[in-house]
Structure 1
Amino acid sequence: MSKNYNDDYYQILGVEHTADLSTIEAQFQVLMKQLESEPNKNFGRIQKLKEAYLVLGDELNRCEYDFLLKNPPQKRADERVIPAKIKPSSSQHSTRQSMRRSNNTGVILTMIFITAFIVLARLSPTPDTRSHNDPITPAGVSQGSLNPVNLPPTGKIASFSNADSLAPLKISGAPGVNYYIKLVDNNTGQTMVTIFLRAGETVQTKIPLGTYKMRTAQGDTWYGKEAYFGPETQFTETTESIEFYRTDFQIMGQVITLQSRQDGNLHTEAIRSDEF
């Protein structure tokens, strides 16, 4: 998606910020028909029009664009990105394993509206109150007993709901970390959707409406759905619920960036493997 903050795509298309997708598409077709009568003369305007439609005609692109309009770069210059976790050397592993159990990772959560954007700000991370002695790796798993298998492709693995998948979801992963993700029903704890996300990649999908907690198993080498990433697997769960719902005119979705930030607005805590 183009990030030219000087272009007002709504003005280019001649639509209101509250216009629905069908209105945007219809207006695009009308303008294109007018301009294509003289393609050479209108080449620049046609390119701008296509660029505007590429953004506003797609739910996720439009939501990101709306966010950029409301939060231009100068307003976000104080963001401090915490580097993604890198697999420690064997001499550092014991010390860091203890430290990262108490590390409460913040991730960026963006509430997507079809025509609006809200940041759920939090002033400070939620502390992890679990004992540091609680096991958070798969029980009974040792490195010597495992055989690596190929990483699954990035994408939705399964949906365990009979409901239609209507709400858009976009998740971007940090480099150097692979994720096996579960969206679990906030009330029952039942797994509703599973997703695999390779390091540094992005998944865009749709899921059933509902309220979820997101659980992640993170690591480097994949050993399958029983052992996950072996004894170094880190398991987390969001401390806040994540909502996907419908209003009279809109379907609310989410854009999530799985990258540690000091100002992240969705917080996680470490959990044990038997809680995953």
Structure 2
Amino acid sequence: MKRVSVILPVYNEAGSLPTLLTVLNSNYPDYEIIVVNDGSEDQTSAVCAQFDAQLIEHPYNMGNGAAVKTGMRHASGDIFVTMDADGQHDPADIKNLLSYISEYDMVVGARSFSGQATPQRALGNWIYNTFASYVAKFRIKDLTSGFRAVRRNVALEQLHLFPNTYSYPTTLTLAVLRSGYSLIYTPIRVNQRANGKSGIHLVKDGSRFLMIIIKVCTLYSPLRVFLPVSGMMFFLGVINYAYTYFVGGRFTNMSAVLFMSGVIIFMMGIISEQICQMRYERFNSEN
């Protein structure tokens, strides 16, 4: 039987931890429970000492993603389950996630539209999901969900890509899909946060999510980024040339710049694609 490690990144969640750890210890006594205290300023350490859980302390607040990376490095299980410690995720859904793990490399808990923190967040997540689905060539239902089960070898293979922030689920999802591993989404219940507010900011973290999507895309499938940009530049060149030709009967420098930019960006995409292929071949030879 495969061993399961539940990883809880924690920052000032002493109020919700007792209930969560009580349920985890009673319902999953054989699971390894790892609490990573990410520089909390409350009684998190004292709370964890009362339960059967492994506590790992960060000397200061390093970020949600950094806490997850620390937990995965210390976990001994064959399956990693990550979830929030703020009371939002229902531990009962762990069984649902694990029911698929024999067939898939990663199982992600998908929140419904009404399960999002705010309508603005729901709309933002829909935009991210749509863009990421284009990048991954796979329908992504919940890009930012932190409630997931993943095979140990798959998670550790992608660990070096994780950022230290809240956007690690975005990176892990795209990296798993673009690496050729299998993924499935399953509905989960979402409870009200114990502290009543999210640590994710729509504008600041939203722009970071978009940059991570582009970064992971260029790392695994560069032409999915370079080709549309190249095509757009070439198309603008055609539009500009058509306008200047019919208005003034001439070919302008702006048209030339747009055409050249399209060609250069396309060639950069080809080179990036070749580098990506070389990286795959080197990784496969090392394993």
Structure showing greater Rg? 2
TM-score by length of 1: 0.24
Which structure is higher in RCO with an 8 Å CA cutoff and minimum separation 6?
A: 1
Q: Which structure features the higher share of helix residues?
A: 2
Q: TM-score, normalised by structure 2?
A: 0.23
